[in-house]
Amino acid sequence: MSEGREAIEAIADEWDLLVGDSFTAAFSRPQLYLAWLDVFRASKIAIVTAREHGRLVGVLPLARFRTDARGLFFTLIAPFARGDYQPPVVDPAVAAKALPAMLDLGFRHLGRRGVCWWPNIPVTDPSLDLLRNFYASRGMPFSEEPERAARLRIDGAGFEEIEQNWSSSHRKDLRRQHKRLSQKGPLSLWQPATLEQAEPVLQEFFRVHDERWLTRGLPGMFQNTLQRRHFQAMLRRMWGHGVHFSTLRCGSVDVAYHFGFFAGGWLQWYRPSYRISYGEFSPGKIHMAMLIEEACRSRWNGIDLLLGAEPYKDEWSNDFLDVRTIHAGFHWWAPSWLWFSRGKPFTRRHLQMTYLRALAWTQKLRQRS
């Protein structure tokens, strides 16, 4: 076990080899963790590793955090670069032995206080049962939160075949909007060939993204300087390691953007946006359709719309993947465990929109001042 950026860089090649090319790979690679460390900080970090006959068979990048008011300032132990899929990085052949040993070592180093948070484990991953068994065997109370990722599975189908599975109203609206927008200029799917081409367009994406959200009375995530720096770091660190950035161009104008990932034959729809001045043409919908056409031509497995229950995802998807987030406490009676297992879920269900609108109002005031 070691700490910090140097510890990750020292094993990055081995780590990449261990991750392989599964559909969770983009969120498990060392480059994602290095991008996080480029911007954020935790009170203590532990890179816990396991080896068998000298070969790396497991990596747990854990950190101890002091939460903000939403976590009532309790301590949290968790992977420090959260992704939509976050299975422990461990060889399944040795996971039953290696994962508990790594967790025990991590807790000894980081301390047994607060709550252990493991987000977004696919139910298909064998580590999920291993984590449940580990917590139960250590007498740690735990709770699970379910979530579902919508997906469009392609598996060799052509675009016309995929299109026939959509509702008639969805197909007609897509064709109508494509025709209307193409009258403004020729439509094309653009992807940067180099990092130098991508970086200025990413800056445009930040402005376009926040303009859309603030107009709707919701906070713009890129009003936060740290969030802009984080996406810049992800683009730079993960260039050639799974980042996928594209725009829909109408003539010479980028009218829709998508910052995402590609892993295991899946395009992962992570952070999209579009220019509100072109909103009447549904540019985001056209962008998605053109990416699906590219997926069919290139014989990708599909488009993964990732987590979040946005209604538009139902228009595109024909499959889903369930994930679980686990909170585990070190003591049944600890206030931190009671908050994360009961208090926070209740508050999120009933007060989240109030919090978001208050944050958006604050951001607008800052812009005016």
Smallest CA-to-CA distance from 64 within 135, 114, 9 is with 114
What's residue 360's pLDDT?
54
Q: How many residues does the chain have?
A: 369
Q: What are phi and psi of 13, to 5 degrees?
A: -65, -45
CB-based contacts of 305, cutoff 8 Å, min separation 6 = 149, 150, 151, 152, 269, 313, 316, 317
What are the pLDDT digits (tens) for 288-297? Answer: 999 999 999 9
Q: What are phi and psi of 295, to 5 degrees?
A: -65, -40
Q: State the amino acid at position 61 in one-letter form.
A: P
The ranges assigned to domains in the chain are 4-147+323-368, 156-300
What's residue 1's pLDDT?
53
Residues 66 and 75 sit within 8 Å (Cβ to Cβ) = yes
194: which DSSP letter? S
What's residue 356's pLDDT?
47
Q: How far apart are CA 235 and CA 73, in angstroms?
A: 31
Q: How far apart are CA 232 and CA 206, in angstroms?
A: 10
What's residue 363's pLDDT?
54
Q: Which residues of the chain have pLDDT under 70?
A: 1-2, 345-346, 348-369
Residues 315 and 164 sit within 8 Å (Cβ to Cβ) = no
- The CATH architecture that domain 156-300 belongs to is 3-Layer(aba) Sandwich (3.40)
* DSSP state string for 88-130: -EE-TTTHHHHHHHHHHHHHHHH-S-SEEEEEEEETTSTHHHH
The reply to whether 4-147+323-368 and 156-300 are identical in fold is yes
Q: Tally the C-alpha atoms within 13 A of residue 161's C-alpha that lie toward its C-beta.
A: 10
CB-based contacts of 254, cutoff 8 Å, min separation 6 = 190, 201, 204, 247, 248, 275
pTM of the predicted model as reported, rounded to 2 decimal places: 0.90
Q: What are phi and psi of 332, to 5 degrees?
A: -60, -35
Q: Which CATH class is domain 4-147+323-368?
A: alpha beta
Q: Tally the C-alpha atoms within 13 A of residue 340's C-alpha that lie toward its C-beta.
A: 31
Q: Give the start-end residues of each E strand in the chain.
A: 44-52, 55-66, 75-79, 89-90, 115-122, 142-153, 187-190, 243-250, 253-263, 266-274, 302-307, 319-329
